[in-house]
Amino acid sequence: MTTEYKASEQLIADPLVELMESVDINNDGVEEPVVSLGTLGDRDLVLLVSATTLFDGTDGTTIEHANFADGDEIDISWQGQGLDGANVSWSQAIKVLNQVPAQAFEFRVPSDKVKALVGSTASVSYQITRGANSDAPGKIQHSGVVQLYLDGLDLHKPVIAEAEGDSLDTARLSGTEGQRYASVKIDYPDMQLGDFVEVYRNGLAVQEVAVSASMLGHPLEIHCLGPTWPT
């Protein structure tokens, strides 16, 4: 069941962050909230604001409390300072309309705003301005602040030597029939001896290469075999 909406009684939940994990990033036995760019990739980062809250009623039943009414405004923000000292900020506001029970309201932090904070800490929070249908019109409520570390490298896209624009020129593939391969060139900052580089195709790992001394100082060239390359 959903209870009668009363903003004055509502506790504001913290925002939820997609892919956030607790990780001992400093190897000191203390786990911290982390989002890995290696997992997120080039996608926007999803933030969620819960539309309802569940709690136990006095009769032992579970009660669903609506967090918003039509006309309420949700204003969410993403802030931090990059390793270069530049301030990074992004925000989005939505007005709740035709409110129906739902799990959450979804916001998307643009990929460039996420990558700008790799190696730094981001702060996420939101505020609610109650609308005319609330029992407290004009009331402003603030969520807690979620702080998370952005881990990983902002990697350049791999380059396929045989590609022309968005197409693969199969006539340029090397190898023999059934063993054709594409030459994939990969470069990234601070390449180190012993690094492991994994190449993915269609979301599946197809090759792993250990960086040797002879590979340092220039882009890696990896030959990706595959019967799935068109011929």
pTM, to two decimals: 0.67
Task: Say how far apart CA 125 and CA 117 lie, in whole Å.
Answer: 16
Spatial contact of 168 and 159, defined as CB atoms under 8 Å apart: no
List per-residue pLDDT tens for the chain, 231 residues long. Answer: 444 446 545 568 899 999 999 988 778 888 999 999 878 888 999 999 998 887 777 888 888 778 888 999 999 999 999 999 999 999 999 999 876 656 789 999 999 999 999 999 999 999 999 999 988 899 999 999 999 999 987 677 788 877 777 777 777 777 777 677 778 888 877 788 888 888 777 656 677 888 888 888 888 887 777 655 554
In which residue are the tokens 């990558």 written? 115
The amino acid occupying position 195 is D
Helices then strands (H, E): number in the chain? 2, 19
pLDDT at 193: 87
**Structure tokens given for 214:** 């002879």
pLDDT at 209: 83
In which residue are the tokens 């702080």 written? 147
pLDDT at 3: 47
pLDDT at 171: 73
Spatial contact of 51 and 61, defined as CB atoms under 8 Å apart: no
Domain map of the chain by residue range?
Answer: 7-151, 159-225
Domain 7-151 maps to which CATH number in 2.60.40, 3.30.450, 3.40.50, 3.40.120? 2.60.40
